[in-house]
Structure 1
Amino acid sequence: MTTTQPKTPPSNGQTSDLLNTTSLTAASILDLRLDPSQLALTQGMPVLVDVQVGKPPRGQYWRLRVGDDFRASYNLLDAGKIGGEGMHLITPQIAALVPDQVRAYELRLGATQFGTPFFLPVPLPSPEGRSNRWHMSLAAGATLAEENWIRIAADLRAGAYTVIKAGGNLGDPRWPSETFDELLTVAFRGSVIDSKEHPLIRQLLGEI
């Protein structure tokens, strides 16, 4: 019976073929050093391709930007309530076809503690002036978030949001460089309802 002996590394100062494929000297390593002035070119520039419309993830603290340039009111349809996904901008003409599914919101520009921008939709009172504790507590939290880092949690017993202020100093918010309108364009790309042929409208009208 023959036994196979394990291969031993090359001796007499020889190296394996794997090690011979790359030979780096101190000088050649220095040649690979990046020039700081070229880092922006080699790393590229990030492009913002998604902006959330809604409340930030649970557990994250956030701020809202102050000023009329960073808030605006729109009619929105919440597709999540009818088996769809996300908030949709809707034109007044189409909103009139399904008034029970459309609500006016004030969109507030915000940023999380990690610098992620988002739009907080704060429900506005109905034409009759009706609101509820969920909406009022969210609006109160939005006002507090103009000067403080906060997060919110749903209190089902109270039927309202609990607002929690950050216990430490999270620093100043990192606001996006894009304008409000540029961010809106990204947030609602593919989510504008301007025709009664839109699948969500046809669903609500009982056509499909």
Structure 2
Amino acid sequence: MMSTFEQPTKLAAPIEAPAPAPHVSGIFHDLEALKIQQHEAGLAGSTEVLTRIPVRKPQRDEYFRVRPGDEFTTVLYEDRTARVNYFITPAMLPLLRAVSNVSVVTLVPFITRQKMLGIFPLKLATDAIGDNGWQTTAMAAAQLAKTKWVRMQADMALSGYRIFSAEGQLSEPEWPDTPFNELLDIAFKDHVISSQDHPVLNRIMGRI
């Protein structure tokens, strides 16, 4: 007879052998051995060489900043078919004004969150074209963009742009060291009307 103080013997649970670790046999079996330093990848100390700078307003989904202190007021001819802005030299301005519409603009450099650098042509009111909501709201957005990340969205009912400020604590833009006049030289490369035999003038005046 079993004593009241005796407990039945419990059978020990069987010990399960650990599952074998998966065997990685490819080149990526040891990532630490494949890591490279920035200087080995050619990244350290590299600087982008600017070869193209678009002349346009920021797109509706682009948050952008404007570089303070850089602005230049001039006259542009906008080829709306090709979506290209041409810089007009002072000597050619009377002729262009006589045969086509031109725009008085203030050019300012802008940069997006994707580090795309551009030139924003802010249209100004003239004797021929009065002030309107599109001009004033674009100018307000460019002014605010000197200190904050903003984006512009066209609103036909408003007859202007709605301006939105980024809600996050975004880092400051990284501007290139390139002077403003050199940025303009890159932006308008091959897009300067400086002579009467320029292809744009030949087309406007029906020579070709």
Q: TM-score range by the shorter chain?
A: 0.7 to 0.9
Aligned to 2:86: 88
Larger CA deviation: 33-42 vs 116-125: 33-42
Return the alpha-carbon distance in structure 1 between the equivalents of residues 45 and 68 of structure 2: 33
Aligned to 1:14: none
Return the alpha-carbon distance in structure 1 between the equivalents of residues 125 and 104 of structure 2: 8
Which segments of 5 or more consecutive residues in structure 2 lack a partner in the other structure? Answer: 1-29
Return the alpha-carbon distance in structure 2 between the equivalents of residues 171 and 42 of structure 1: 21
Deviation at 1:40, TM superposition (A): 3.1
Deviation at 1:42, TM superposition (A): 9.4
Q: Secondary structure at the match of 1:95?
A: helix
Aligned to 1:164: 164
Return the alpha-carbon distance in structure 2 between the equivalents of residues 127 and 84 of structure 1: 27
Aligned to 1:3: none
Deviation at 1:38, TM superposition (A): 4.5
Change (3 A) 1:46 1:206: same
Aligned to 1:63: 65
Aligned to 1:134: 134
The structure having more radius of gyration, on CA atoms, is: 2
Return the alpha-carbon distance in structure 2 between the equivalents of residues 154 and 33 of structure 1: 47
Change (3 A) 1:149 1:157: same
CA contact (8 A) 2:60 2:154 kept: no
Return the alpha-carbon distance in structure 2 between the equivalents of residues 128 and 156 of structure 1: 22
Q: What amino acid maps onto 2:90 in structure 1?
A: P
Larger % of helix: which?
A: 1
Return the alpha-carbon distance in structure 2 between the equivalents of residues 51 and 202 of structure 1: 26
Change (3 A) 1:170 1:180: same
Change (3 A) 1:110 1:41: closer
Deviation at 1:41, TM superposition (A): 7.7
Q: 2:55 aligns with which of 53, 56, 65?
A: 53
Q: What is the TM-score with the length of structure 2 in the denominator?
A: 0.75
Deviation at 1:133, TM superposition (A): 1.3
Percent same amino acid among aligned pairs?
A: 30
Aligned residues: 181
CA contact (8 A) 1:98 1:204 kept: no
